[in-house]
Structure 1
Amino acid sequence: MPQEAPARIARELASHGYTADREAITLLARADDTATALLVAVEATPDDALKLTADDVRAALDEGGPTARRDPISEGDDGASPDDPETTTSSASSGAVSDGSDAGEQAQEASQPEPVPDAADDDPSPVETEDGSGGVGQSGRNEHPSSSAAEPATAAESGGEPPVETEGSSEASTRERNTDQSLRDLDIGNDMTGRSTGTGEYDDFVATFRDRYERLSKTLKGRVNHRNASALEASPGGGEAEMVGMVSDIRSTASGHWLIELEDTTGVFPCMILKDRDIAGLVDELLYDEVVAVEGTLSDDGSIMFVDDLYFPDVPRTHEPSTADRHVEAALISDVHVGSQEFMADAWERFAAWLHTDEAANIEYLLIAGDMVEGVGVYPDQDEELDIVDIFDQYEQFSERLKSVPGDIEIVMIPGNHDAVRLAEPQPGFDEELRSIMTAHDAQIASNPAVVTLEGVSVLMYHGVSLDEVIAEMPDAKASYDDPHLAMFQLLKKRHVAPQFGGHTRLAPEQQDYLVMDEVPDIFHTGHVHKLGWGQYRNVLAVNSGCWQAQTDFQKSVNIDPDAGFAPVVDLGSLDMTVHKFS
């Protein structure tokens, strides 16, 4: 009998109020009569148990009895999965794409609530993408990987699938999912949930900016001999000068030069960047309210500094990322948008079914960077594009979707701008009412942004609303929707996820600026813009993970062509990344 789709078994167990580890689902799938085996296992499980284990299944089935099936891997049963075809291709960015997974038939079956349509209508196998240019692979890390822009995004823009080139086939992996919880180590930092101090008063804003300045200036004062604004104003003029300040104004002069006003805790001082200087190109990268350092020469009257060099807090060139001590992987996704008419349920179920397969056996963490649901009233006439009009029902359905994911995967979620939390950043994690709805897998919920450390590898999770602002303010070569990781590089340079106050990004004043990157992350994970892109910036892997929502009418009106149904997977032991396509 063909093997039952693990995701279907997981959903059936969920309907009885159980989750299950991967080995338990595998045993049930290999039974000659899966339905009977499932019923026997559920009935034999103690009433107070919430999770079905492999031992529970073995005990219930009395392994070797009439409902048990021989292990097709160790005993050569003809029910073993067929060899997987593996295909590769090179895209515009030299990425290799391979279409190969033993989840193929299972994923298609799991994604269909009704009988499966003709396979020719929809190939459910995930497309696996690896950066062949050295941008993210172990073969080489590129500090300037703009040439390694996400190749699936390029293909999506042209309206077609990423090109696939067949390399051959290989046997499916037989590795079982590791369920030894003692090997896992997950810690969440920078979580401001329940710690908000802002009241909206003037003093709150002063506290936020002062905290930002003091923390980022520590990084910059090691590079320049800082003199504050008051000391510079009192200077007789002439001679060298250096300062660390927050950008309070940027304007061009009639002659085409740039006047930058920098503010510190003592006052404001004007700095001139001449148009013929090499650093003039850096003016395009400046945002209001970010902290930078400058060095140059004071005018004879001491009223202005002529800037020779400009520095961002930046990632040190010597940065070496941390890695896990074992082969363990994390899947990075975002922007699920359950509740939208364009939510890609079939692609999600393919993804969930694939997570049950041997190919995904090393994925032990799933990080979701915001926008679990579509929300209500987020943009004009959104109600016309909703499949579920009640916000609580949307979260109920999202929780149901999580039940298709293997029960032994650790899930971490942060909110986004479509979620039912405050819009101003930092955004606290979901309140108790929503947490009580999203109970599947006992997912860990943190604020936006948050730093999630997985077995020594730090992942900065940020939903990414400020990417809109960075892209709007900078030239396409430095930040664009087609290459969202370039905008992420800019935030890494600034060591702040949303520096500009008063623009598109709503910012909430707190005693502490939770948006500062005190420590350099090993991985920077964002979403929001619905585009897939990744690259290395000074050994930091920046990943924007696309979405699970097809193009809406609103997106058409603002010319957004989403990259949907992708799941980037990072090997925490090497920081190599692959991207799997399920749409």
Structure 2
Amino acid sequence: MPLSTPSGLVTELARRGYNAEREAITLLANAADPALALDRAVEDAPDDALRITVAHVRAVLDTDKLSADAPTKPPSDESADAPPRESVTQDPPVSTGETDQTAEPKPNRPSQSAPVETEGSASADVEDTVSSTDTGETVPSTDIGDTGKAVPSSTSSDGDSSPPVSTDTTLSSEASQSSHTRNPTPAHITNDMTGASTGTGEYKQFVTTFKDRYERLSKLLRGRVNHRPAKAIQQMPGGSDAEMIGLVNDIRSTASGHWLVELEDTTGTFPCLVMKDKNIAELVDQMLKDECIAIQGTLADDAGILFADSIHFPDIPRTHRPSTADRHVQAALISDVHVGSQEFMADAWNRFTDWLHTPEADPVEYLLIAGDMVEGVGIYPNQDEELDIIDIYDQYERFAEYLKQVPGDMEIVMIPGNHDAVRLAEPQPGFDEELREIMSAHDAKITSNPSTVTVENVSVLMYHGVSLDEVIAELPADKASYDEPHKAMYQLLKKRHVAPQYGGHTRVAPEEKDYLVIEDVPDVFHTGHVHKLGWGKYHNVLAVNSGCWQAQTDFQKSVNIDPDAGYAPILDLDTLEMTVRKFS
């Protein structure tokens, strides 16, 4: 990438181990010879400097007459000592049998970062814009072609025909580079359990976790039912009305096709019968074991069973009104970067970070990353055959280089995912000190999975989303599917828990507190993991699954995963409306 562009300058400084102030990059880009100005600024910077400042650059420009009005020969596309961007940012592939993690890099492989559905248009800088409405419907997209101008498309992102929307956007010309300075307020983080884990895996600790889950979720239901403990209901006379709050201990069908739901509280268990001809029977299909619900009904004549008349979930109140920012400011919501994979989409990432340096992206002051920074090692069968970087620490080193391409005045918050180098059991603590030191660019905030991050008065529940696999597998397709991942997120909001079912695919760690309970209603729920793009509003909570930055791998092909890659949902924090930008 030419060193006459801010993105090229940022990349070159990152290669040399420096961050830079945004205005300093602008001054370098406007210099008569940006490459020479960069060299002089680095040479003149103090030995202990980690960031090139405006003062460093101005001193060079004043001394060496390198300002924009000084005569000089036209700069070449690339300085002699600055390799092309791809050679700085892309790792060589790893052959199937290679095991030497210290081997010299091989020549770069041809770019194959575009997702399957966009192959054949790699020469164009593609940018689709899709805006959300309150119902989660989409309005049409626009394609940015070679000229950088918007070309109306005939279909929206979901394939429905609709009138085109036109914009006038230039992504990469020097004239479009912004000199605006962002001013984000520090993100406020709650529910971070990093460094607070007490679990050792003993049975009694699991009991403590589930007791805490029951106590906190039952409080959300006590205003709707007159709860009686299981032990008290067992002593009530037949024919009495009864109401109970409990964790779902078991769900099974009877020979007659009715449903038997066994609830458990801190005093014992009690069976509830849901008749198949009642309209509440469809709610049984939405239940997961270990979630907390309330059932109202009438006891049988022998008081041995409760005939259910109504079922209640903790749910999000329909009266919820989200908070919003008091100024126009935006947040980019992304996840599943997967640096280290042969299918990591470096070109799409570069276009994304280039765009963040343009005037159009000036309002984007926050970047929230919902896990899977890197591809990891040993996550799925034969993964080593699909790795470009086989050492986990080298993967994080490379991710850190990509992170440095993000404007330095943005506030960045990251949580881990199941591919990251933390424990698999949830809640996952934030990265350890060694990895934090590697990913120290821009002083990014690192917190646990899940965590609630509040920016500009807007609370964003960030959860990587492993439990979505379980929800999609267990519930009917119209309630949860990979094609519409936000609907599976609705179910977690309804249950007020990000991973309600224990003992399945989702590993849960025993803690004194159940950090997976959604005790406070968020304004935005942000997940990843399933590599699919989807969003919509549930009781005024915006649910967003942000896709990924990894094209389809051979493993994904084998399990029929067709990823939505290279998208960046951009959230207006003052209105909670969203635009999805496509960079692949």
> What band does the TM-score fall into relative to the shorter chain?
0.7 to 0.9
Instruction: Give the distance between the partners of 1:174 and 1:290, measured in 2 at CA.
Output: 50
Say if 2:387 is the partner of 1:386: yes
Residue pairs, 1:425-440, within 5 angstroms: 425-440=426-441
Query: Residue 161 of structure 1: CA displacement?
Result: 9.5
Residues 505-555 of structure 1, C-alpha deviations (whole Å, 9 max, x = no match): 011111100000110111101000000001111111111010111111111
Instruction: Give the distance between the partners of 2:253 and 2:577, measured in 1 at CA.
Output: 43
Contact 2:131 2:138 in 1 (8 A): no
Shift in CA distance, 480/395, structure 1 to aligned 2, threshold 3 Å:
same
Shift in CA distance, 66/545, structure 1 to aligned 2, threshold 3 Å:
same
Shift in CA distance, 500/374, structure 1 to aligned 2, threshold 3 Å:
same
Q: Report what 2:467 is aligned to.
A: 466
Q: Report what 1:62 is aligned to.
A: 62
Residues 18-73 of structure 1, C-alpha deviations (whole Å, 9 max, x = no match): 2123222222222221112222333343333322333443343239x853237xxx
Residues 220-252 of structure 1, C-alpha deviations (whole Å, 9 max, x = no match): 001100011011100011132111110000001
Contact 1:148 1:535 in 2 (8 A): no
Instruction: Give the distance between the partners of 1:291 and 1:149, measured in 2 at CA.
Output: 37
Say if 2:489 is the partner of 1:506: no
Q: Which amino acid aligns with 1:553?
A: D
Residues 170-204 of structure 1, C-alpha deviations (whole Å, 9 max, x = no match): 47788643334xx5131111111111111111110
Query: Residue 159 of structure 1: CA displacement?
Result: 12
Instruction: Give the distance between the partners of 1:268 and 1:278, measured in 2 at CA.
Output: 25
Q: Report what 1:330 is aligned to.
A: 331
Shift in CA distance, 150/265, structure 1 to aligned 2, threshold 3 Å:
farther
Structure 2: segments with no counterpart, 5+ residues? 75-83, 89-107, 112-119, 143-152, 171-175
Query: Residue 504 of structure 1: CA displacement?
Result: 0.8
Contact 1:525 1:543 in 2 (8 A): yes
**Which of 162, 179, 186 does residue 182 from structure 2 map onto?**
179
- 1:206 match: secondary structure: helix
Query: Residue 165 of structure 1: CA displacement?
Result: 7.1
Instruction: Give the distance between the partners of 1:161 and 1:383, measured in 2 at CA.
Output: 36
Residue pairs, 1:294-373, within 5 angstroms: 294-373=295-374
Greater shift after overlay, 498-507 or 170-179?
Answer: 170-179
Contact 2:340 2:374 in 1 (8 A): yes
- 2:347 match: secondary structure: helix
The runs of 4+ residues in structure 1 deviating greater than 6 Å are: 111-114, 149-152, 158-165, 171-175
Residues 474-527 of structure 1, C-alpha deviations (whole Å, 9 max, x = no match): 111000000000000000000000010001101111110000011011110100
Instruction: Give the distance between the partners of 2:384 and 2:514, measured in 1 at CA.
Output: 35
Instruction: Give the distance between the partners of 1:358 and 1:552, measured in 2 at CA.
Output: 35
- 1:383 match: secondary structure: helix
Q: Report what 2:103 is aligned to.
A: none
Q: Which amino acid aligns with 2:47?
A: D
Q: Which amino acid aligns with 1:373?
A: V
Contact 1:21 1:179 in 2 (8 A): no
Contact 1:339 1:389 in 2 (8 A): yes
Query: Residue 333 of structure 1: CA displacement?
Result: 0.7
Instruction: Give the distance between the partners of 1:168 and 1:290, measured in 2 at CA.
Output: 46
Query: Residue 580 of structure 1: CA displacement?
Result: 0.8
Q: Which amino acid aligns with 1:427?
A: Q
Shift in CA distance, 427/15, structure 1 to aligned 2, threshold 3 Å:
same
- 2:355 match: secondary structure: helix
Q: Report what 1:86 is aligned to.
A: none
Say if 2:533 is the partner of 1:532: yes
Query: Residue 407 of structure 1: CA displacement?
Result: 1.3
Identity of aligned residues (%): 65
- 2:519 match: secondary structure: coil
Residue pairs, 1:184-263, within 5 angstroms: 184-263=185-264
Contact 1:178 1:362 in 2 (8 A): no
Instruction: Give the distance between the partners of 2:140 and 2:433, measured in 1 at CA.
Output: 37
Q: Which amino acid aligns with 2:7?
A: A
Q: Which amino acid aligns with 2:342?
A: Q
Residues 432-466 of structure 1, C-alpha deviations (whole Å, 9 max, x = no match): 22222222222111111111111211111100000
Residue pairs, 1:64-79, within 5 angstroms: 66-69=65-68
Contact 1:354 1:360 in 2 (8 A): yes
Shift in CA distance, 361/164, structure 1 to aligned 2, threshold 3 Å:
farther
Shift in CA distance, 420/121, structure 1 to aligned 2, threshold 3 Å:
closer
Residue pairs, 1:436-515, within 5 angstroms: 436-515=437-516
Contact 1:251 1:259 in 2 (8 A): yes
- 1:373 match: secondary structure: coil
Say if 2:39 is the partner of 1:39: yes
Instruction: Give the distance between the partners of 1:15 and 1:341, measured in 2 at CA.
Output: 21
Query: Residue 121 of structure 1: CA displacement?
Result: 4.3
Contact 2:6 2:177 in 1 (8 A): no
Query: Residue 405 of structure 1: CA displacement?
Result: 1.2
Query: Residue 392 of structure 1: CA displacement?
Result: 1.1
Instruction: Give the distance between the partners of 1:338 and 1:270, measured in 2 at CA.
Output: 49
Shift in CA distance, 149/288, structure 1 to aligned 2, threshold 3 Å:
farther
Shift in CA distance, 272/401, structure 1 to aligned 2, threshold 3 Å:
same
Instruction: Give the distance between the partners of 1:336 and 1:288, measured in 2 at CA.
Output: 32
Contact 1:5 1:110 in 2 (8 A): no
Instruction: Give the distance between the partners of 1:431 and 1:225, measured in 2 at CA.
Output: 46
Shift in CA distance, 43/396, structure 1 to aligned 2, threshold 3 Å:
same
Instruction: Give the distance between the partners of 2:205 and 2:218, measured in 1 at CA.
Output: 20
Q: Which amino acid aligns with 1:34?
A: P
Greater shift after overlay, 403-412 or 487-496?
Answer: 403-412
Contact 1:204 1:509 in 2 (8 A): yes
Q: Which amino acid aligns with 1:349?
A: N
Q: Report what 2:92 is aligned to.
A: none
Q: Report what 2:398 is aligned to.
A: 397
Contact 1:343 1:549 in 2 (8 A): yes
Q: Report what 2:51 is aligned to.
A: 51
- 1:338 match: secondary structure: coil
- 1:57 match: secondary structure: helix
Query: Residue 112 of structure 1: CA displacement?
Result: 7.8
Residue pairs, 1:80-91, within 5 angstroms: none
Q: Which amino acid aligns with 1:50?
A: L
Instruction: Give the distance between the partners of 1:160 and 1:287, measured in 2 at CA.
Output: 30
Q: Report what 1:549 is aligned to.
A: 550
Instruction: Give the distance between the partners of 1:531 and 1:168, measured in 2 at CA.
Output: 26
Q: Please give the TM-score of this superposition, normalised by the length of structure 1.
A: 0.85
- 1:472 match: secondary structure: helix
Q: Report what 1:276 is aligned to.
A: 277
Q: Which amino acid aligns with 1:189?
A: T
Q: Report what 1:407 is aligned to.
A: 408
Contact 2:177 2:357 in 1 (8 A): no
Shift in CA distance, 487/518, structure 1 to aligned 2, threshold 3 Å:
same
Shift in CA distance, 162/552, structure 1 to aligned 2, threshold 3 Å:
farther
Q: Report what 2:583 is aligned to.
A: 582
What is the alpha-carbon root mean square deviation over aligned residues? 2.8
Query: Residue 368 of structure 1: CA displacement?
Result: 0.9
Residues 361-392 of structure 1, C-alpha deviations (whole Å, 9 max, x = no match): 11111111111111111111111111111111
Q: Report what 1:23 is aligned to.
A: 23
Q: Please give the TM-score of this superposition, normalised by the length of structure 2.
A: 0.85
Instruction: Give the distance between the partners of 1:297 and 1:329, measured in 2 at CA.
Output: 51
Q: Report what 1:264 is aligned to.
A: 265
Query: Residue 125 of structure 1: CA displacement?
Result: 4.1
Instruction: Give the distance between the partners of 2:376 and 2:467, measured in 1 at CA.
Output: 19
- 2:251 match: secondary structure: strand
